[in-house]
Amino acid sequence: MTVERYIRIFAGLFIMLSLALGVEGSPLFVSKWALAFTAFVGLNLFQFGITNFCPLAIILKKLGVREGVSCSA
């Protein structure tokens, strides 16, 4: 797997987890403040799209995850 793919997986996982923890109807509900993490991940994805800077990408590269083409059309 590539850095781009790991970023997408982590972002999706964190968004789903924070929604499960922040939505009142969820059996995993903890607090509405968990939704702030959803906003943080969304904001980070937005700035990554504009600036191409992502702290997770730096960490993954240092761990030896290869860079590559994210998807082909």
Give the tens place of pLDDT for each residue, 4-47: 999 999 999 999 999 999 999 999 999 999 999 999 999 999 99
Is 19 a member of any domain? yes
Is 73 a member of any domain? no
Query: Which segment of 29-33, 54-58, 69-73 scores lowest on mean pLDDT?
Result: 69-73
Range of the domain at 51: 3-62
Query: What pLDDT does residue 70 have?
Result: 56
Residue located via tokens 């995850």: 65
Domain count, the chain: 1
Query: What pLDDT does residue 13 have?
Result: 97
Query: What pLDDT does residue 68 have?
Result: 79
Is 69 a member of any domain? no
Burial per residue of 24-60, b for 16 or more beta-carbon CB atoms within 10 angstroms, e otherwise: eeeeeeeeeebeebbeebeebeeebeeeeebeebeeb
Beta bridge partners of 2: 66
Query: Which one has a higher pLDDT value, 68 or 52?
Result: 52
C-alpha span between 43 and 51 (Å, rounded): 12
